[in-house]
Structure 1
Amino acid sequence: MAVGLDAADSRVRDRHEQFRALAREQLPRLVSLARRLVGEDAEDAVQDCLLKAFQSMDQLRDEAAGQAWLTAILVNCCRDRGRARARHPQEVDLDEVEEFSLYRKIAYEDPFPYSDSLHLDFLAEFGPEDVHAVLMRLPPLYRVPLVLVHMEGFLAKEVARMLGVPLGTVLARLHRGRKLFEKEMWDYAESSGLLRKGRR
């Protein structure tokens, strides 16, 4: 009987050590992803994620799937936090977004009149903190798929499974999210003075 208990204790200790190793390895990536998904709530979301993952560690059968498994848990924790914070979803004028073209706007406004590479000069004004600020302006509905596909490298069908929505819905959100991101880039550049800097 004692041998059986020792073996069970040993398995529990092994699972705990496995979890600690996985969490240590993935923590920087999880924090980075959470910052892009929920901003200042990132640390709390990661803490929620690790707690839920620890509680359901027995569900992870294949260690190689650990990264994707933790990512799916984190995405759900971030969505839960977003739902709790926002009583009303952020409204977006989709017609205005669909008509917007960053390429045409930059060409028409000509913020860098002596430039031979106008669009590249515009993009060069954005530092990592500016891109993050623009990203955080997007409603989570569009931000989450954009981050997962374009920054984390997940396939759209994987994101659809994570979010529990049809693939077509994810593809539509990605399209609208990209258009909205372009529009927010222009608005951010105007409001933060990036265009004035470029005129110097």
Structure 2
Amino acid sequence: MCSAEPRAARIELFRDVARQQLPRLYRIARRIVGDEAEDAVQDCLLKAYQHVDQLRERSAASAWLVRILVNCCRDRLRGRARSQEDVDLDAMEDFSLYRTIAYEDPFPYSDSLHLDFLAEFSVDDVRQVLLRLPELYRIPVVLVYMQGFLAREVAEMLDTPLGTVLARLHRGRKAFEQQMWRYATEHGLLREGAR
């Protein structure tokens, strides 16, 4: 689609892409803002419609919508006016889920200790763990590991240097592991036959 296309054609393209991408947008928003996902998607679609003239090609439309959604989610997170969580980077770097599970041995007599641990988590449990991550790490983790974007694409979406995104991905993985262990401890998932 070239820039000379009439607005009506762009709006029709937007409608097609929005219908197709709606479930994906909702999944991404659920993982970033939790219960505010529907509102974030609605904000995204409204902003996308208002800027439909920026939509140039069908092949880029999906990434364009995700970028708008990420910005809407970030706005919602900022709007919550929570203080920035302090993250102990040293403790996070030293934590190893693999070593902790092996040391704690929550499922004695198991030949597949780590798989048994992961099997205790439902989809909702994983979502709750994700929501515990600071926004700084949550957004890149969701986009790269759960939505399949390349780190450089995420860097462009967030208008952040690639090295910064890579560092946030590394720290985000470590923080996710740490939060998984905490969540499992708090919710009694570390007992054999807990579910």
TM-superposed CA distance for 1:91, in Å, is: 1.5
- The alignment status of 1:46 with 2:41, answered yes or no, reads yes
Q: How big is each residue's C-alpha offset from its partner over 1:96-142, in whole Å with a ceiling of 9 and x where there is no partner?
A: 11110001101110001110111111111111111111111111110
Corresponding residue SS for 2:191 = helix
Gaps of 5+ in 1: 1-7
- List aligned pairs for 1:90-105, cutoff 5 A: 90-105=85-100
Identity of aligned residues (%): 69
Counterpart contact for 1:113–1:199, Cα < 8 Å: no
Alignment length (residue pairs): 192
- Judge conservation of contact 2:188–2:194 (CA < 8 Å) in 1: no
Q: Which residue of 2 aligns with 1:137?
A: 132
Distance in 2, matches of 1:86 and 1:170, equals 24
Q: For the pair shown, which has the larger CA radius of gyration, 1 or 2?
A: 1
Match of 2:58 among 63, 87, 109: 63
TM, length-normalised to structure 1: 0.91
* Structure with the larger helix share: 1
Q: Which residue of 2 aligns with 1:182?
A: 177
More off after superposition, 173-182 vs 88-97 = 88-97
In 1, Cα distance between equivalents of 2:26 and 2:115 = 30
2:7/2:53 contact within 8 Å kept: no
RMSD: 1.7
Deviation at 1:13, TM superposition (A): 3.1
CA deviation after TM superposition for structure 1 residue 87, in Å: 3.9
Q: TM-score, normalised by structure 2?
A: 0.93
| 2:161 alignment partner in structure 1 | 166
* Gaps in structure 2 of 5+ consecutive residues: none
Distance of 2:51 and 2:79 partners within structure 1: 23
Change (3 A) 1:165 1:33: same
Aligned partners of 1:98 and 1:179 also within 8 Å = yes
Query: Any conservation in 1 of the 2:107–2:191 contact (CA below 8 Å)?
Result: no
